A = this chain, B = another copy of it.
Amino acid sequence: MATLKDIATAVGVSVATVSNVLNDRPNVGRVIRQKVLRAANKMGYRPNRAAQAMRTGRTRAIGLVLPDLTNPFFPELAQAVENTARSLGLLVCLVDSQGRAEGEANGFALLMQHAVDGIIWCPVGPRLPPYLHSATRPVVLIDRPRPGFPVVHSDYVMGGHLLAAYALRMGHTHVGLLSGPQNLASARQRRDGFVEAFPRDIKVAWEVVVGFDGVLNAAALKALQRRGRATLIVAGNDLIAISAMRCLAEAGVRVPEDVSITGFDNIRWTDVVTPRLTTIAQPVGAIGAKAVQLMQQRLSGEKISGQRTIFDVTLIERDSVRRN
């Protein structure tokens, strides 16, 4: 690997000058500038990140801390984050906390040790881990707001509204809710948005809270079994919806003939399952990209204007809801 010194001696100029050229700073003449550039190019010079990091304290790497790569929402996000980061010359260091606070703390320690410039983070716990405050690096949250940190996520309330309006339009007046964990704002807002946009004379027949990972607990199973008067089941996300569909199918209940169902997220599989799932699409790619852009702004010293960046969601109408 060629170093600044190599180039300097090759061109016959000082190291400082080479450095100045390469970081295009002023105070170096045209001819020398050209010579240095050419030499650097020919010798295939790449700055030694370790040395740079040591001197400047910046690594041009960012951490990405995710709770569960197994949930299809996150790989898509990771892909977007990695790709836009790379286009900005930023390396992405991945931590999958597997939904455990311990793994998260662990991953953070590792990231801090490697002195990443910033962290894009989708927190697992309900509260901020204390070590975060000691993090000297900027943090951008994804999907799960916490006081004091910038966050980018979808307009979940809007999603709930959209769903409610659609349910009404399709003539459903009794719904069952298979909500996600209510300590997660994303789950709560979907639910509240839905309920809030639903007229008073229309009933939530029942509601069960389950995990976002789509494994159904006993209460959920029972609720699905005797569905009460619900003609529509509104699931907290697609994983839940698909699990529910599978569960219903096994009980011989047909979707959407016997009961309708909606999801949330528009993961790839909603389009491939039978019947195809009506759901809310969030712009995952845009969210990931935006998070990186925000980070980049913070890294280059700009103050981030708004603390929250919220993306519109859209209703994807497919085959899992029938007119009632």
Q: What residues of chain A have their CB less than 8 Å away from a CB belonging to chain B?
A: 46-51, 53-54, 59-61, 64, 69-70, 72, 74-76, 78-79, 82-83, 86, 89, 91-96, 98, 103, 106-107, 109-115, 214, 242-243, 245-246, 249, 268-269, 271-274, 276
Return chain B residues, CB-CB under 8 Å to A61. 93, 114
Q: State A106–B74 Cα separation when bound (angstroms).
A: 23
Q: Which 10 A-B pairs have the closest CB atoms?
A: A50-B53, A69-B75, A75-B75, A94-B94, A50-B54, A69-B79, A82-B96, A49-B114, A46-B113, A79-B96
Residues of B within 8 A of A91 (CB): 93, 110-111, 114
Chain B residues whose CB sits within 8 angstroms of the CB of A246 once the complex forms = 271-274, 276
* Cβ distance A110 to chain B, nearest Cβ, rounded Å: 5
- In the assembled complex, the Cα of A268 lies from the Cα of B76 at a distance in Å of 16
A115 near B79: Cβ-Cβ < 8 Å: no
Instruction: Please determine whether A83 and B96 come into contact, CB atoms closer than 8 angstroms.
Output: yes
Other A-B contacts than A48-B115, A49-B113, A83-B103, 20 sampled, CB-CB below 8 A, are A49-B115, A53-B53, A60-B114, A61-B93, A69-B75, A69-B79, A69-B82, A70-B75, A72-B75, A79-B98, A83-B96, A86-B106, A91-B93, A92-B94, A93-B94, A246-B274, A246-B276, A269-B269, A272-B273, A274-B274
Partner of A115, one of B50, B94, B115, B242: B50
Closest to A50 in B: B53
Question: In the assembled complex, which residues on chain B have CB atoms less than 8 Å from the CB atom of A113?
Answer: 46-47, 49
Residues in chain B near residue A115, CB distance under 8 A:
48-50
CB neighbours (8 Å) of A89 from chain B are 110
Within 8 Å CB of A112, what residues of B? 46
Q: Given the interface contacts A93-B91, A94-B94, does A70 sit within 8 Å of B268 by beta carbon?
A: yes
